Amino acid sequence: MKKNTGFSIVAIVLIALVGLTACERQLSGAHRTAVLAFSEAATDNLFAGLAANDYATFSRDFDPDMQKDVPATRFAAWKQDVDSKLGNYLSRQVDHVSQDDEFYVVVYQVKFEQQESVTVEVAFHVKKPHPIAHLSFDSQKLRWSSA
């Protein structure tokens, strides 16, 4: 009887660990393509607004919380910081796409003039119309998060 109890405890622990790691899963195939279909357009707006110093375009796809976290009044100072540390945006490549219960997360490897490897994470609500809920930049020269 003790053997079964030990086995049961190990089995429960393993199931719990698998469940915890399954909270966020990598997307591939048609599901990944579907997420990129809406996320790329929003990310294009974000980087176009950044390049043009245009807050309205930059924030077009933000949810209300992002509008509060990254308001127009702080955009100019933030943009100046990005420009001084990274330079102009050049290009991006999708690194991976994942999903948890509430968000799709698209992680990009982005090239700027002064920094070739910037990890940019954009989180979108799972519920339509999939507004941007979070944005972060991570590199040797700049670490910034909307939250």
Tens-binned pLDDT, residue by residue, of the chain (147 aa) = 455 554 444 334 334 333 444 478 999 999 999 999 999 999 999 999 999 999 999 999 999 999 999 999 999 999 999 999 999 999 999 999 999 999 999 999 999 999 999 999 999 999 999 999 999 999 999 999 998
**pLDDT tens per residue across span 76-93:** 999 999 999 999 999 999
Output the pLDDT for position 109.
98
Residue-wise burial string across 76-87, b where 16 or more C-beta atoms lie within 10 A, e elsewhere: eebbeebbebbe
Q: Sketch the domain layout of the chain as residue ranges.
A: 27-145
Rounded alpha-carbon distances, angstroms, from residue 41 to 101, 142, 144: 22, 24, 22
Decide the pairing of beta strands 89-99 and 132-138. Answer: unpaired
pLDDT of the residue at 4: 53
Distance of alpha carbon 23 from alpha carbon 37, whole angstroms: 23
The pTM for the full model equals: 0.82
Residue 14, pLDDT score: 35
27-145 CATH: 3.10.450.50
CB atoms within 10 A of CB 30: 8
Instruction: Kindly list the strands in the beta sheet with 25-26, ordered across the sheet, starting from the edge strand earlier in the chain.
Output: 25-26, 89-99, 103-112, 118-125, 132-138, 143-145
Residues 6+ apart with CB under 8 A from 140: 115
pLDDT of residue 105: 98
